[in-house]
Amino acid sequence: MSLALIAMSHSPLLHTAELPPAPEVRARVDGAFEAIHAFAAEYDPTLVVVFAPDHYNGFFYDLMPPFCVGLAAEAIGDYGTEAGPLSVDEAYALAVVRHAQQADIDMTLSRRMEVDHGAVQPLETLFGGLDAKPVVPVFVNGVAAPFVPMRRIRAMGQAVGDYLASLDERVLVIASGGLSHDPPVPQWDTASAGVREGLIDGRHPSPEAREARQRRVIEGAAAFARGEAPIRDLNPDWDRAFMADCAAGDPARFDAYEAEQMTEDAGHSSHEVRTWVAAFSALAAAGAYETTLEYYEAIPEYIAGFGVMAARTAGER
Ligand SMILES: O=C(O)CCc1cccc(O)c1O
Ligand SMILES: [Fe+2]
């Protein structure tokens, strides 16, 4: 039995930016990615649990759970990420659902989950593709308000971690997304009727609609990097404080994060850090842990307070 964790920001602009960051910035991101790749290779997990948000590709306002386990999952392939089925371990996925339910978590499940770059970028970065390892994908809502209190995400992560810690496996839990950022994802409250329809039921858009949406993000990022976009500033102080809370080994700290204040301080997509809360809470369920790797920098070209962390149960080698 053993648990390890990798948390990483994602950004579709990593591969698509028209105005890329300075080469030394990109080199530091690549260095951080190489370091977590090496960490994952050395740990050599036998099971991967990926906590990932979704950006109105798999989950919509026709039915929006706070979190959901995929018993089968398919990547939609946005922003040039790999498309196709994930190698989901259905038996473990179902056991995660059952265990969480018995721990008083109203876990939801999908037998046909669709995932986007949020789930796929970490799998590509760490393992080179979608199907290298048996995986349990766990959607955590990070964009569609309203949001359940953070203590519920903490409790969900803890329940999942309790189960994972009981297994005779080397489990890697992954968190994807965050930190402070405010990319041009439509908000229900300010969306037009047509856009709202897409937020309710926008599955499988036409290639033209998909392309238009991606253009909007790519152009928005370039404008933001030039200081010309109506996008909230990144907030490195907030990001560093959050990462310090992650390193502290005390998941109760997460309960202090209140959703509306987060939007105010760190932008509409800062709620993606719910994946980090779930993953660190899961890791903490296996006992004290130590952070072995930490990288952070604010990268406007990626519209992201960009952070990477790795951690594992203390005293294990
Ligand atoms: O395609 C979208 O809807 C949003 C894309 C996007 C942009 C910047 C940072 C992110 O974390 C992210 O997901
Ligand atoms: Fe995202």
| pLDDT tens per residue, range 27-71 | 999 999 999 999 999 999 999 999 999 999 999 999 999 999 999
Q: What is the mean pLDDT of residues 107-115?
A: 98
From residue 159, give the alpha-carbon distance in Å to each of 99, 162, 233, 294.
7, 5, 35, 26
Strands lying side by side in the sheet with 113-115: 83-85, 73-76, 113-115
What pLDDT, on the 0 to 100 scale, is given for residue 1?
67
For ion ligand 2, residues whose CB falls within 5 Å: 177
More confident of the two residues 59 and 317:
59
Please list every protein residue whose CB sits less than 6 Å from any atom of ligand 1: 10-12, 55, 177, 181, 183, 185, 217, 269, 303-304
What pLDDT, on the 0 to 100 scale, is given for residue 247?
98
d(CA 113, CA 59): 9
Q: What percentage of the chain reaches a pLDDT higher than 70? A: 99
CA–centroid distance for 118 within its chain: 6
From the CA of 53, give the closest atom in ligand 1.
Answer: 13
pLDDT tens digits, 82-99 = 999 999 999 999 999 999
The protein residue whose alpha carbon is closest to atom 10 in ligand 1 is 11
The protein residue whose alpha carbon is closest to atom 9 in ligand 1 is 11
Strand pairing class (73-76; 304-313) = unpaired
What pLDDT, on the 0 to 100 scale, is given for residue 315?
83
Structure tokens at 135: 């995986």
Structure tokens at 278: 């779930």
Beta strands of the chain (E only): which ranges?
2-8, 47-52, 67-70, 73-76, 83-85, 109-110, 113-115, 135-140, 170-176, 289-299, 304-313
Q: What is the mean pLDDT of residues 77-81?
A: 96
Ligand 1 centre from 192 Cα, in Å?
20
pLDDT tens digits, 260-271 = 999 999 999 999
Ligand 1 centre from 143 Cα, in Å?
10
pLDDT tens digits, 275-303 = 999 999 999 999 999 999 999 999 999 99
Question: CA angle, corner 227, sides to 221 and 230, nearest 5?
Answer: 70
ipTM: 0.97
> Residue 304 pairs with which residues in a beta bridge?
299
pTM of the model: 0.98
d(CA 148, CA 240): 23
> Residue 137 pairs with which residues in a beta bridge?
50
Residue 117 annotated in active site = yes
Ligand 2 centre from 166 Cα, in Å?
31
The yes-or-no verdict on residue 143 having pLDDT over 80 is: yes
Closest CA to 314 of 280, 284, 277: 284
Residue 37 annotated in active site = no
Q: Read off the CATH number of the domain in which 218 is found.
A: 3.40.830.10
| Amino acid identity for residue 238 in this structure | W
Give me the chain's average pLDDT, please.
97
> Residue 313 pairs with which residues in a beta bridge?
289
Ligand nearest to the CA of 275: 2
Inter-residue contact 83 to 76 (CB < 8 Å)? yes
Domains of the chain: total: 1
What pLDDT, on the 0 to 100 scale, is given for residue 2?
85
Domain range enclosing 243: 2-313
Task: Give me the catalytic one of 55, 181, 268, 271.
Answer: 181
